[in-house]
Amino acid sequence: MALLTCENVAVGYENAAVVEGLNFAVERGDYLYIVGENGSGKSTLMKTVLGLIRPRRGRVVTGEGLKRTEIGYLPQQTFVQKDFPASVREIVLSGCLNRMGLRPFYSRREKELAARNMERLNLAALAGHCYRELSGGQQQRVLLARALCATRKLIMLDEPVTGLDPKVTTEMYELVAALNRDERLTVVMISHDIAAAVRYATHILHLGDGKYFFGPRAEYLSSAAGRIFTHGQGGKQ
């Protein structure tokens, strides 16, 4: 069974559906990019998959024992979140909240997990630093470490490189790609960067004009939607 399946899902805003009849599956180890114009329903779909929003129609099914509370999530950052007055360690540890149940304190295992994720993302030296004093790239790595504390199987990222300079953007892309490649972590990422999608994705979901395309990267590049979008965004095949 697929790790995640959308069956005839419709998503939208207020009283209007943006896209309907979505049918696609994400398998273990996939790297899915969700692309499309602003307002096409990308973030709404991701929140629907996470269970934060109810689908207008259809259903989202998880497999391989995956619970929605076990999906790592890196949302778009708001200004308030960027100025959050907590330490790096505290924020990374908060990724373990769904593991705690009714316990009032983090366990030794959870603290060790947070420490490992800070180490793997080169954040150990910043553990005691205040989050709001970090650079944009460092903040995103902190949020990625927090998301990794929540999951062993699937991570979902909504525009994780927004506002980052080109060098840091590339570093972030390579970091996520390494997690997918070396640890078989399944990745679902929303992005406007079609060049990155063409480079890193195994599959692409394109939303737009009430329609959608889902399939392997090579099929997307040869599709009508793929040819138009990659040409318009300057993507390279």
Q: How many residues does the chain have?
A: 237
Q: Is residue 202 part of a domain?
A: yes
Q: Strand (E) positions, the chain?
A: 4-13, 16-26, 31-36, 57-62, 72-74, 154-158, 186-190, 203-208, 211-216
CA dist., res. 153 & res. 161, Å (int): 22
Instruction: Quote the pTM value.
Output: 0.90
Task: Please give the structure tokens belonging to residue 115.
Answer: 């420490």
Q: Is residue 116 part of a domain?
A: yes
pLDDT per position in the chain (237 positions), as tens? 899 999 999 998 877 888 899 999 999 999 999 998 888 899 999 999 999 999 999 999 999 889 888 899 999 877 657 778 899 999 999 999 887 777 788 999 999 999 999 999 999 999 999 999 999 999 999 999 999 999 989 999 999 998 899 999 999 999 999 999 999 999 999 998 888 998 999 999 999 888 899 999 999 988 887 777 776 654 443
Look at the chain and report how many structural domains it folds into: 1
Q: Is residue 9 part of a domain?
A: no
Q: Pseudo-torsion of CA 2, 3, 7, 10, nearest 10°?
A: -150
* Domain region containing 102: 30-53+67-233
Q: Is residue 122 part of a domain?
A: yes
Q: What residues pair up with 4 in beta bridges, in sequence order?
A: 26, 62
Q: Is residue 226 part of a domain?
A: yes
Count CB atoms within 10 A of the CB of residue 68.
Answer: 15
Q: Identify whether the C-beta of residue 95 lies closer than 8 Å to the C-beta of residue 147.
A: yes
Q: Is residue 13 part of a domain?
A: no
